[in-house]
Chains A and B, each alone.
Chain A
Amino acid sequence: MAKVKMTVNGRQVGSDCEDRTLLVHFLRDNLALTGTHVGCDTTQCGACVVHMDGRSVKSCTILAAQAAGSTITTIEGLAANGELHPVQAAFKANHGLQCGFCTPGMVMTAVDMIRRHGANLDEATVRAELDGNICRCTGYHNIVKSILAAAAEMAGAQQAAE
């Protein structure tokens, strides 16, 4: 048992956990942030993706202790002031989700993907980048569409701001 401290969704948190506790279980069980999901045991499905210090990581493959002192953003921390993030809004507008279970990981992966590629994203790149996120409901068709729509929307917004 050790007390692990980190910043999660802008809030400083600390909680006792077993040494073997994975970050995903720390978020779910200790902080009651159940939006981050566990869909496999082998770092394949990506339902657990969160951002650690601004980069996407699979929270099932990192110990809570390893994340001590870092800044974590989960799906619960993405929408600001009750407004959906443009990626969340694009998933809704384009029916990029069905059962919703893989969705938090998909959205967090997409946000990071758009951060890295910006408006240069094309369908082939999105499909290749989604290799670590499995969805069983959508056939990915509308997820790809959602991410491309969000990338275009965010690039447009950025251009307008400049």
Chain B
Amino acid sequence: MGVEGIGASVARKEDKRFLTGKGRYTDDMSVPGMKYAFFVRSPYAHAKIKSIDMSAAKDMPGVIGILEGKQLQADAIGNIICGWMIHSKDGSPMNMGVWRPLAHETVRYVGDAVAIVVADSLGEARDAAEAVVVDYDVLPAVTEAVKALEAGQPQLHPEAPNNLIFDWQIGDGAATDKAIAEAAHVTEITLRNNRLAPNPMEPRATLGIYDSAEDHYTCYTTSQNPHVARLVMSAFYNVAPENKLRVIAPDVGGGFGSKIYIYPEEIVCLWASKKTGVPVKWTCDRTEAFLTDAHGRDHVSTVKMAFDKDNRIIGLKVDTIANLGAYMSLFSSAVPTYLYATLLSGQYAIPAIHANVRTVYTNTVPVDAYRGAGRPEATYLLERTMETAARELGVSPAELRRQNFVRTFPYQTPVIMNYDAGDYEASLEAAMASADWNGFAARKAEAARRGKKRGIGMSCYIEACGIAPSAAVGSLGAGVGLWESAEVRVNAVGTIEVMTGSHSHGQGHETTFAQLVADRLGVPIDSVNIVHGDTDKVQMGMGTYGSRSGAVGMSAVVKALDKVEAKAKKIAAHLMEADESDIVIENGELKVAGTDKTLPWFQVALAAYTAHNLPAGMEPGLKEGAFYDPSNFTFPAGCYICEVEVDPETGVTDIIQFVAADDFGNIINPMIVEGQVHGGIAQGIGQALLENVHYDPQNGQLITASYMDYAMPRADDLPSFKLSHQNTPCPSNPLGIKGCGEAGAIGSPPALMNAITDAIGNNSLTMPATPQKVWAALNAAN
């Protein structure tokens, strides 16, 4: 490893612009003639639109135009779709209802967009939006998935009777039932995975620019995957053909999944720019973000875990009801199915697994992938169940896990996944040593003397990342392939530009991708620029989510670098009159092995472009592209341990220590990887302790629609974290990377809940474990 190569904690190249206020986020963009948009949104969770009266609003100061859904439909702009087809167990396709970018018949959640107002200033747009009179016929609403399935509940979409979107299953039901029937012990538990708002700190924004001379559209947007946005807006929403639509996702201030999807606002602002003849910018405010950004989680599940007399797991049966909100968002159907139930084997050898998942429409904002996406839900089920089982069986939670670990690889689970490499015991041992697990009893006794309840809990997680082999996801219903593309462009002076379809919105690609190039060619990272986020600059890409940038995105760069190196070696061999197989690339030079003949990198690059003396038949230039399609998922895994102290007087939980021991495969930049884990753990602790999206079940109003009401983790809610790595390289990609972006959010909630329930001696506790709930559970236990 060089000082800037793979494995070095290089300070980030992109930091200077962020630290000096020179970052360029979508809302920072300004173009001549630009005007401001404000959306008229439904104040009701469920209503028929009787009429929309714009007469007062359209004459208000500064108003340029007000547009509604009927016009959008007349212009043949398409409805918003879900891109992953799931079939119910009876073979029928999922029941997808209609999602119009601007509703004109029915609104189905508070915040559903009805009209767009474009005005000279944001203030004037907002004033005029308030003067748009929408006459609603208010209908009853339902916000909870379990209730929405019951008879007599409000019906959201005619396509989905009883609000059921699909009733899907995976695994062997008969074998699992048999295991449960024959079990020496069955642990049964019902768990709710609370609904969360992703909350990247940069609110969504978009700037739509229509150029009438070229009949061309430019869309600046807060996207994790601008090429997917262009593809979907072209192919399905009929906004413009791909060659007439440029999508730019500049600096993006966090995503966590919520910026994967193509929302109504991007579509409507592009269309409105053409209709009004002005560039149209819309920036979400925070309450609007709570109302309209896709939420995450929101499952209710029952689990039965069967053990034989030796405490080996012999079967697992799961029944889940997942709330998908009012409409099916882009990946919403995949999250509670193939990103969830395929991970229900966890780190354990379980011979029989069966899961049934029903997804449901409710009068809430759509639910889709949020950091971890299905895998946190699976881990939460398994790890709370394992802890509960250990307590029921009277064995140590570590021992029960150890006894059931998968120990030989590859390991084929009964639910599709084929684990390729890992060492689960190594992470368990490391975490226990780091947390001084064996010293806990003494610490608990000491805490008891101070009147505090001390508890400790662990969680062993596995996830599937590096999403995903295209043929595999295609066979499971995905509408797209999940490869990645890259282009390595060596300039004539030897500097390098890497165009990648991955997108950085905090992950530090401009540094880590440059480290890869520096490692391969021995050039300084300052001579390498990473270009991403612009469909005019990067040929194609699938974007960043599912911890895929390293495992898939960088693998595409490796493939392109292979081609660049091969051509550079041919040129160098020709110029130095050596055999191509004797050329090595080291420290920015091409050398003839075993001799003192060398050529600096830039000179070979220059030779490629002057083309005065190239091998016979070789094309000039030094620029290569590649697509990489992974052959398997990757399987990061690890063990998290949390120790808490509960104040029995107040129910307040204090996190004493939080330990993470992870296997991410090979690591490019340890400092950046640790930063990803810190952030993930904070979001997981947020879920377990603080955060909850709450809709009023009577009327569907969102109660938690600001930072005054939704408890975001703050600095004094969290401890510093203790991290370590026990890495086993991933065998399926050239860099051996598994991915690290989501692990923290996946592994941490059950560790914390297991610690609190251990402290209070009552397992009946739901997330978030607020002081009120903890106090009540503690007193119920006593």
Given the complex, which residues of A lie within 8 Å of B7, measured CB to CB?
Answer: none
Is A64 positioned at the interface, with any CB of B under 8 Å from its CB?
A: no
Inter-chain contact B19/A97, CB cutoff 8 Å:
yes
Q: Smallest CB–CB gap between A39 and chain B, Å? A: 5
Given A42-B707, A99-B506, A100-B253: A47 and B720 within 8 A (CB)?
Answer: no
Identity of the chain A residue whose Cβ is nearest the Cβ of B288 in the assembled complex: A41
Can you name 7 A-B pairs with beta carbons within 8 Å? Answer: A35-B23, A39-B286, A95-B674, A98-B675, A99-B251, A131-B715, A139-B682
Render B704-717 as a binary contact track against A, CB cut-off 8 A, 1 for contact: 00111000111110
Cβ B678 vs Cβ A131 within 8 A: no
**Does the CB pair A142–B675 fall under 8 Å?**
yes
Residue of B nearest to A9 (CB): B21
Chain A hits for B600, CB < 8 A: none
Least CB separation from B676: chain A residue: A98
Q: Which residues of A contact B681 (CB under 8 A)?
A: 139
Interface size class of B (residues with CB under 8 A): 35 or more
Q: How many chain A residues touch the partner (CB < 8 A)?
A: 57
**B16 on the interface (CB 8 Å rule)?**
yes
B698 sits at the interface (CB 8 A): no
Partner of A44 from B200, B256, B708, B720 at Cβ < 8 Å: B708
User: How distant is A104 from chain B, measured CB to nearest CB, in Å?
Assistant: 5
Q: Is A139 a contact of B718 with CB atoms below 8 Å?
A: yes
State in angstroms the CA–CA spacing of A140 and B686 once bound together. 13
Please tell me if B285 contacts chain A, counting CB pairs below 8 Å.
yes
Q: In the complex, what residues of A have CB within 8 A of residue B453's CB? A: none
Cβ of B591 under 8 Å from chain A: no
CB pair A141 B721 closer than 8 Å: yes
A18 contact from B15, B23, B121, Cβ within 8 A: B121
Residues of B contacting A44 in the complex (Cβ-Cβ under 8 angstroms):
706-708, 712
Given A37-B202, A100-B253, A140-B718 contact (CB < 8 Å): yes
Q: Collect the chain B residues with CB atoms within 8 Å of residue A123's CB.
A: 720
Given A45-B201, A130-B716 in contact, is the A98-B507 Cβ separation under 8 Å? yes
| In the assembled complex, A88 has its CB within 8 A of some CB on chain B | yes
CB-nearest residue of chain B relative to A27? B21
With A and B bound together, what is the CA distance between A35 and B22 in angstroms?
6
Nearest residue, chain B, Cβ from A78: B20
A56 interface hit (Cβ, 8 Å): no
Chain A residues with a Cβ under 8 A of chain B:
18, 20, 28, 32-42, 44-45, 47, 74-76, 78-79, 84, 88, 91-93, 95, 97-104, 107, 123-124, 126-128, 130-131, 133-145
Q: How far is the CA of A93 from the CA of B19 in the complex (A)?
A: 12
State whether B720 touches A141 (Cβ < 8 A).
Answer: yes
Is B672 part of the contact surface with A, judged by Cβ < 8 Å? yes
Task: For the complex, give the distance between the alpha carbons of A35 and B505 in Å.
Answer: 16
Q: B721 near A139 (CB under 8 angstroms)?
A: yes
CA A121 – CA B508 in complex, angstroms? 29
Residues of A within 8 A of B505 (CB): 99
CB pair A99 B253 closer than 8 Å? yes
Checking B15, B25, B706 against A97 with a beta-carbon cut-off of 8 angstroms, the contacting residue is B15
Q: Which residue of B lies closest to A75 (CB)?
A: B21
Chain A positions within 8 Å of B683 at CB level: 136, 139
Ranked nearest first, the 4 interchain pairs of A and B with the lowest CB-CB distance are A35-B21, A100-B18, A101-B253, A139-B682
Closest to B680 in A: A139
A144 contact set on B, CB distance < 8 A: 715, 720
Q: Are A84 and B16 in contact (CB under 8 A)?
A: yes
Q: Is B337 an interface residue (CB 8 A)?
A: no
Q: Which residues from chain B contact A78 at a C-beta distance below 8 Å?
A: 20
Smallest CB separation, A147 vs chain B (Å): 10
B30 at the interface (CB under 8 A from A): yes
In angstroms, Cα B252 to Cα A20, docked, is 28
